[in-house]
Amino acid sequence: MIEISNITVRFGGIKPIDQLTATLTAPVAGLIGPNGAGKTTLLNVLSGFVKPMEGSILLAGVPLLSLSPLRRVEAGLRRSFQTEQVVEDLTVHDNLSAIADHVVPAGERARAVEAALSHVRLTDVADLLGGRLNLFQRRLVELGKCLVGQPKLILLDEPAAGLTDEEGAILRDLVLGIPAVTGAQVLVIDHDVELIRAMCSETMVLDYGKLLALGPTAEVLANDNVRRAYLGEL
Ligand SMILES: Nc1ncnc2c1ncn2[C@@H]1O[C@H](COP(=O)(O)OP(=O)(O)O)[C@@H](O)[C@H]1O
Ligand SMILES: [Mg+2]
């Protein structure tokens, strides 16, 4: 469970997050909103790259904001980036090992990396260099990195960006399997509303840094304010 209380972020004159209060409980929760709504900024606040001016966040009851980004990783926080961050001159296996070195005890690293590779179906290409991968494989490496160790919260920033519908469907199934396999909660940003509908039982909508709606995904997507502000309907 993520409990966000009264979070405000200021960059110069703008507030990309403005007094946001929201509690997310679903195993796979969605985060949507128009471009510039503050979605990536919220992920940056959760992962420790951006410090809010005020507010607090609890992850499974534990205060998050006083921890450094590395401490948050050690506490089970993982994230993928809107632009994937695969290291080109490391193999797929070693891209995941680099995370394991920080968060898994030495004797258990090989097994932790194998389990993560297997979940994202990259075992067969484990020895390929990052630079040889196609976009879908890169997205899977990003997801695999999030699964190494014992993640508690996985933040995915547009993990299906640039993928075909077929690839997006595979990714959706992998994401849906994460809570059962790892016990982690997932918070996912995506522009594809149908993908969000298929993945997320609960969805939060941001608009100019404010909470526009939060609740069961079907209700949120049917909400008049959401349809007007975000889906361009009504
Ligand atoms: N490092 C930054 N410095 C200044 N403004 C920023 C920075 N990062 C994001 N912003 C601004 O904050 C707002 C929210 O951005 P962002 O969180 O990236 O939105 P989203 O991911 O929903 O598209 C935008 O107006 C953006 O230009
Ligand atoms: Mg973004």
Residue-wise pLDDT for 47-99, tens only, equals: 999 999 999 999 989 999 999 999 999 899 999 987 878 999 999 999 999 99
Question: Which ligand is nearest the CA of 36, by number?
Answer: 1
Is 57 within a domain? Answer: yes
Is 156 within a domain? Answer: yes
Indicate which atom in ligand 1 lies nearest the CA of residue 82: 21
Is 116 within a domain? Answer: no
Separation of alpha carbons 118 and 133, rounded Å: 17
The Å distance, Cα 14 to ligand 1 centre, comes to 9
Is 71 within a domain? Answer: yes
Q: Is 139 in the pocket of ligand 1 (CB under 6 A)?
A: no
For the packed helices 92-103 and 109-119, what is the interaxial angle rounded to 10 degrees? 130
Question: Which ligand is nearest the CA of 158, by number?
Answer: 2
If you count them, how many residues does the chain have?
Answer: 234
Q: Is the pLDDT of residue 234 over 70?
A: no
The pLDDT-based confidence of 229 (bands split at 50, 70, 90) is confident
Range 96-105, long-range pairs (CB < 8 A, 24+ positions):
96/141, 96/144, 96/145, 96/148, 99/73, 99/145, 99/148, 99/149, 100/148, 100/149, 102/70, 102/73, 102/74, 103/73, 103/74, 103/148, 103/149, 103/150, 104/148, 104/149
- Determine the average pLDDT of the residues in 126-141: 96
Q: Atom 3 (ligand 1): residue with closest C-alpha?
A: 11
CATH number at residue 187: 3.40.50.300
| pTM, full prediction | 0.94
Is 121 within a domain? Answer: no
Q: Is 186 in the pocket of ligand 1 (CB under 6 A)?
A: no
Q: Is 37 in the pocket of ligand 1 (CB under 6 A)?
A: yes
The pLDDT-based confidence of 230 (bands split at 50, 70, 90) is confident
Q: Is 39 in the pocket of ligand 1 (CB under 6 A)?
A: yes
160-178: pLDDT as tens digits: 999 999 999 999 999 999 9
The Å distance, Cα 38 to ligand 1 centre, comes to 6
Instruction: Tally the domains of the chain.
Output: 1
- Beta carbons of 112 and 99 less than 8 angstroms apart: no
Find the domain containing 67 and state its range: 2-84+150-229
Is 110 within a domain? Answer: no
Is 114 within a domain? Answer: no
Is 53 within a domain? Answer: yes
Indicate which atom in ligand 1 lies nearest the CA of residue 34: 22
> What single-letter amino acid sits at 85?
Q
